[in-house]
Amino acid sequence: MSEILEVVGIQSELFWEDVDRNLDHFTKKLDTISNADLIVLPEMFSTGFTMNPEKVAETMQGKSVYWMVQQAQKKAVAITGSLVIKEKESFYNRSVFVFPDGSVQYYDKRHLFTLAGEQEKYTSGSNKLVVTYKEWKICPLICYDLRFPVWSRNTENYDVLLYVANWPQPRITAWDTLLRARAIENLCYSVGINRVGVDDNKHKYSGHSTIINPIGEILSELPENEEGIIKATFRKSELKAIRNKLGFLNDKDQFTIKQ
């Protein structure tokens, strides 16, 4: 079992609906990263959060997933972030998790952001994903999912909860608060990677990317409104010690979620 997991997140501006420019931008940022096991990119990292999926959507064989596979193999790391993906006649806000060998798993965003009309353009996912990587169990979720603790609840005994986001500045206090709450209530490491900058709809994003330990302590965070790299070392021994001492997950409620 891998005792240590080195996690890195990239807080960045995004170029509006410009896949090639975003991929080039992140290639340069990835070239500066070493000693990582997992690299986390923001939500819709190749386009920004767009309600024009018909304009930018790709397939799982498209250039963005291919780029992720290339980068994962080149750097011998896992890479994850969300993309606009089309399957048949449906569009998905899809979290893609690429392993160092180039294999892929994915999760489709469950909670679509009705305030922006996301449900009118995208199809909701129905299956929660828990990835096993280096014998760490990782649950990737997307932005608005953060507001729904039942969906995020640690019923699978995962170790790490990931949120990738385009979370706007006016509601950043909720982001800060809920990220810490999800870590505490699920006794897990929690990673939230948000973007910065202003998109073409004039929405401002201030970042606040943060990595939090299972008792709610901040391990790493980035300055507001600045691009940057965030990193932390996760330790199995620390996670097990906290869970064994506190035991809160043993008392969790049992429930089922309607699809």
How do strand 218-221 and strand 228-235 relate by DSSP bridges?
Answer: unpaired
CA distance 189 to 127: 21
Active site residue: 13, 43, 58, 118, which one?
A: 43
DSSP H/E element including 191: strand 189-193
Candidates 13, 58, 109, 128; catalytic one = 109
Respond yes or no: is residue 143 known to be catalytic. Answer: yes
Q: Which residues pair with 231 in a beta bridge?
A: 8
**Residue at token pair 């608060």:** 177
Annotation says 109 is catalytic: yes
Catalytic residue among 17, 143, 188, 221: 143
Q: Is 43 a catalytic residue?
A: yes
| Bridge partners (DSSP) listed for residue 79 | 39, 98
Q: Which H/E stretch holds residue 6?
A: strand 4-11
Tokens of 6: 């080195």
Q: Which residues are catalytic?
A: 43, 109, 143
